[in-house]
Structure 1
Amino acid sequence: MAGSRPTVGVFALQGDVREHLHTLAALGATAIAVRRPAELEDCDALVLPGGESTTMAKLARTFDLLEPLRERVAGGMPTFGTCAGMILLADEISGGAAGQETIGGLDVTVRRNAFGRQVDSFEAALPFAGLEEPVHAVFIRAPWVERAGEGVEVLATAHDHPVAVRQGHLMATSFHPEVDGDGRVHRIFVELLGR
């Protein structure tokens, strides 16, 4: 890590990139867009944003990023997945597309589009472990966790399902914490880098 300013990459081939870059920079991280393996090598940590999980995995493979991502995550790089990013980090997908690939590492089974279609998107004030005030959670075609392994800590739930989890150096949310400028969920992730 470069001094006290970690370099946090945001997977930038598809998805909700700009807001994550802005939030991370506001927290004091050096935030960079990651589109190539060389950019990934410069990262101390990574954010996998919301987007379309099947498209993101295909693009990662096309741009020779999928295997380097798997290696870095398996090697202990702190990684935070939001919405589609949660799906990409999951070891197992329920309701996935045929042959859908993930990066893996997070011992969970995640159901794609668990809350329904785009028209079923919703917002909620969610109690979140470690935070005094609820977070404003925006769910857009969001997944939820159907199974969490023994080492997975549940940080928040909605509709009786985990929607935010942490396992060692990995963290994931079903919702989009980057959209309202709050920054508290990202701060929890950035604090993982100091452990």
Structure 2
Amino acid sequence: MSPRVWFRLFWTLLFLLPIGLIGGCSRKVAQTGPPPATILLIRHAEKLNDGRIDLSPIGFERARLLPKVFAPGARPDLPTPQALFATRESAHSNRPIQTVTPLAAALHLPIDDSFRDQDYVALASTLLSGKYAGKVVLVVWHHGKIPQLATALGAKPPYKPWPEQQYDRIWRIDYADGKVTIQDLPYALLPGDSQ
């Protein structure tokens, strides 16, 4: 190839690469085993607006009340989780772990925090590997990656991007009869929560 062709190819790839990286996962990962019965996706609870990595006082209150939402028999539209995942703690955020810790204590379940925020494709592959076949799995993630995670799990996100100030929604993904469905449900937990 001539230097001119190489030059054009280089600039074309340089332009397209960031577009591909920004888009993230736009398709379902391969399912290598029976899926979970249900995957519940939630954003971590409310954060501070001053750059600190922890939950705000309202966020800690939401986390404390989470067992009331997911306890056995608490809500007919929300099954009780049998496995818990949260993004690994980082220099930028402890919020997903802080959000799910009270629920983990109430249900006597460990929290799998082996995945980083950007590892949502690997998490989706793990969840669709058969290891959690027929189970109910709760995932606490950062809002910027929840729509991509839902897509990787084979569901069509009800909206994207996830709104910056939205802390009170639950995406319920069900796998039944070879179909994947998703519902956008409210917490209805704290005053001011959406309906």
Structure 2 length as normaliser, TM-score? Answer: 0.33
Higher helix share: 2
Q: Which is bigger in relative contact order (C-alpha 8 A, separation at least 6)?
A: 2
Higher strand share: 1
